Amino acid sequence: MQELEKIGKLVRYYILESTTEAGSGHPTSSLSAVELTTTLMFGGFFKFDADNPKNPNNDRLLFSKGHASPLLYSLWALAGKVSEEELLTLRKFGSKFEGHPMPSFEYAEAATGSLGQGLSVGVGIAINGKYIGKLPYKVFVLLGDSEMAEGSVWEALELAAYHKLDNLIGVLDVNRLGQSRETMYGHDLEAYAKRVGSFGWHTITIDGHNIEEVAKAYEEALSTKEKPVMIIAKTLKGKGVSFIENKDGLHGKPLTKEQLPEALKELGEVDKSVLGTIAKPENMEPAKPEVKGKFEKASYEPDTVLATRKVYGKALARIFPKFQNIVALDAEVSNSTFSKTFRDEYPERYFEMFIAEQNMVGTAIGLSNRGKIPFVSTFAAFLSRAYDQIRMSQYSQANIKIVGSHVGVSIGQDGPSQMGLEDLAMFRAILNSVVLYPSDAISADKLVEEAAAHKGLVYIRTTRKDTPLVYGNDEEFKIGGSKVVKSSNKDSVTVVAAGITLHEALAAYEELKAKDINIRVIDLYSVKPVDSKTLEKATKETKAIITVEDHFPEGGLGEAVKSALANMGAKVHSLAVTKMPKSGSPDELLEYEGISKSAIVKKVEEVV
C-alpha cells in the first residue's frame, strides 16, 4: 500500500513534468485516474508479460479516455519500460509518445482519442478471450465520464452483457468535469450505476482516490461471474495539486513552467528509483477452431446468376480452412448480407452484433488486436454509422475487412435510406485503405480471399441484384488490378465500370457493336488502389474515358479514375447518381439516374 502511494506520487510527477515540457496535453484528466490505474497495474491485479506485449495470455488495459495518455506513458515508466528522458519527448515530432495513444507506443492496445470507442475494442478482445482463444485473460478499459454521453458506449455495454463478457472490466473515472463544463451527471455516481446496472452489468461504486477501496473493487470485479463489471469511481480532476484540483476551465491545460515547481513542491519528495511490479500471466495455448473440410478453390457453373452479396458468406466458409483466424460479425442483417452462410458453417466464429454498427466495428478492432481477421458486414449505407470507428481503425493499424451490401440505386424499391451511395467516398478517404467492388460470383469469391490475405483495412462493396458471370473459374483477381473485359484495335472510347454498372456497360458494348462502334470496357474492381497502367493505356489508345458508377459523383470510381489520369491530360466523362434517388425498380432507377445501358450508349455516341 505504501509502495502504491510512492508509485502514485511519481506518476503524478511525471504527468505534470511531461505535459509542462510539451506545452500541451491533459494533466488534469490524467491525475484523476492515478490510483485507479496504479492499483490495477502494480497492486497484483493486472497480469502482463511486459517483455512480451504480444503474449496471448496478457491482460489488456485500454485507455478509452485517450487524452489521459500522459498517465499511460507514466505507468509504463513505473513498469521500467520508459525512461524519464523519453517521457519528456511527449507530443514532439517523431516521439512515440503522441498526444493520444497510437500503435507507435507498444503498450497502447489501440489508437484512442475519439471518445467512446475503447469499450467496444475491449468487447472484441474479451470475445476473443472467452469464446475464441478460450484464455483466462482479463480486459480493463479506463473510461472518462464525459464519454459516457456517446451512444457507442451504450452499444458496447449492451453487447458485452448480452455476450456475458465477465472478463471485461470497465473503470469509470468520474471526475465530474468535461472539456467546457460539468458533465450531465456531475459527481452523481448513482446516476451511472443505475444506468450501467440496468444494462446488465455488475457495478461497484467507490472513492477513486482511496487505494484500499480501489483494490477491493478489483478483487470483487475479478471474482464476478457471467457479467461484465463497471467500477464507478468518484475522482477529482487535477487531483494532487490544490490549485488545479476539481476546477472548471482546466481541461487540456498543462501547468506553465512557472506553475510547475509549486505543484511539484506540493507533491513532496519523489523517489525516482521506485518501480512497480506487474504480476505474470498464465501460460496457456489459445484454442484452435474445428475446421470443416479442406481449402478448395472457388468454382461456379458457367450459367450461374448470383448476387455478389450472396457469394460473400460462401466465400468466407470456403477460405476458412486457409484463414483460420477469420471471425464474422454482422449487424442483425445476416440474411441480407449473407454472412449467414458462413454462420451456418462456423457458428462459433460468428458473433451477432445486433443493429449497433459503431460497436461492431470497434469490436472488430479488438479482435484484430488479438490476431483475428474480423469480417464485418451490414448494408453499405449503415456503415456510415461507424465512420469514426473506421477512421480510427486505421490509426490502430487494425486488420479488418468490411463488407457493405445493398449498394446504389439498383437496390430498387426500398428507397434512398437503404442505398449505399457514399460508401466508396467514405472508404477511399481512409489512409491506405483497399476498396474492392466485384461484379460477379467469381470475382466476388476471389476478392473475399484477397481481402483475407491482405494485411490492413479492406472494404468490399456487394450488390443486391443477381448478376450473371463475367469471368471463368480460372480468372485471377488481385488488389490494385483491373480487367479489360472488351477490347479491340479499333476501340473508339473506353468505358470504366464496376459492379452493377459493368453489366450495363457490357450490354452497351453489344448495342454499340451492332452499330459498328467499338468500345473498350474496363472492370475497375479494385477502386483503390487503382490500376493506373491499364487506365493510362486506354487513355492513349482511345479518344476518351467514360466512367459509370452507382454512387454519387464525388469521391467514387469516377474521381478515382480522374486522379489516376490527372497528370496525363486525359478527358474523362462521368456518369453517376446525380438526382435525388427514390423508390422504383432497379432498371427504372438506373435509367432515371443516367447510369444504365442506354445512358452509356448515349454518352458514347456523344463523345465519339
Of residues 102-141, which lie at the interface with a copy of itself (CB under 8 A)? 102, 104, 111-116
292 within 8 A of 345, measured Cβ to Cβ? yes
Residues 155, 173, 449, 491: which binds a copy of itself (CB under 8 A)?
Answer: 155
CA-based torsion, 597, 601, 606, 608: positive or negative: positive
Nearer to a copy of itself, 98 or 450 (CB): 98
Q: How far apart are the C-alpha atoms of 321 and 495, rounded to whole Å?
A: 38
Nearer to a copy of itself, 249 or 293 (CB): 249
Q: How far apart are the C-alpha atoms of 575 and 357, rounded to whole Å?
A: 31
What backbone phi and psi angles, to 5 degrees, belong to 358? -60, -50
Q: How far apart are the C-alpha atoms of 393 and 407, rounded to whole Å?
A: 23
Nearer to a copy of itself, 291 or 355 (CB): 355
Among the listed ranges 77-85, 195-203, 214-222, 312-320, the one in contact with a copy of itself (CB under 8 A) is 195-203
Question: DSSP class of residue 349?
Answer: G
The helix (H) or strand (E) run that includes residue 197 is: helix 189-198
Residues 12, 100, 310, 464: which binds a copy of itself (CB under 8 A)?
Answer: 100
Number of residues lying near a copy of itself (CB under 8 A): 111
**Residues between 232 and 261 with contacts to a copy of itself, criterion CB under 8 A:** none
Kindly write down the DSSP assignment for every residue of 15-73, as one continuous string.
HHHHHHHHT-S-HHHHHTTHHHHHHHHHTT--B--TT-TT-TT--EEEESSGGGHHHHH
**Residues between 332 and 391 with contacts to a copy of itself, criterion CB under 8 A:** 332-336, 340, 352, 354-356, 358-359, 381-382, 384-385, 387-388, 390-391
Cell numbers of 292, please?
A: 470443416
**Residues between 399 and 418 with contacts to a copy of itself, criterion CB under 8 A:** 412-418
Nearer to a copy of itself, 115 or 172 (CB): 115
* 273-302 footprint of a copy of itself as x/- string (CB under 8 A): ------------------------------
Min separation Cβ 280 and a copy of itself, Å: 32
Nearer to a copy of itself, 222 or 429 (CB): 429
Nearer to a copy of itself, 157 or 442 (CB): 157
Min separation Cβ 223 and a copy of itself, Å: 25
357 is catalytic: yes
**Residues between 506 and 545 with contacts to a copy of itself, criterion CB under 8 A:** 528
Q: How far apart are the C-alpha atoms of 220 and 380, rounded to whole Å?
A: 42
The helix (H) or strand (E) run that includes residue 575 is: strand 572-575
The helix (H) or strand (E) run that includes residue 144 is: strand 139-144
Residues 181, 257, 490, 533: which binds a copy of itself (CB under 8 A)?
Answer: 181
Min separation Cβ 57 and a copy of itself, Å: 29
Angle at 356 (CA atoms; ends 354, 358), nearest 5 degrees? 140
Q: How far apart are the C-alpha atoms of 324 and 592, rounded to whole Å?
A: 45
**Residues between 37 and 66 with contacts to a copy of itself, criterion CB under 8 A:** 66
Is 169 one of the binding residues for a copy of itself (CB under 8 A)? no
267 within 8 A of 205, measured Cβ to Cβ? no
Nearer to a copy of itself, 62 or 278 (CB): 62
- Three-state DSSP state, 365: helix
- Three-state DSSP state, 521: strand
* 547-576 footprint of a copy of itself as x/- string (CB under 8 A): -----xxxxx-xxx-xx--xxxxxxxxx--
Min separation Cβ 5 and a copy of itself, Å: 31
Among 35, 155, 357, 450, the active-site one is 357
**Residues between 589 and 608 with contacts to a copy of itself, criterion CB under 8 A:** 589, 592
Closest by CA position to 144, among listed 180, 117, 110, 120 = 117
Residues 99, 122, 276, 281: which binds a copy of itself (CB under 8 A)?
Answer: 99
Closest by CA position to 484, among listed 444, 518, 447 = 518
Enzyme catalytic residues:
357
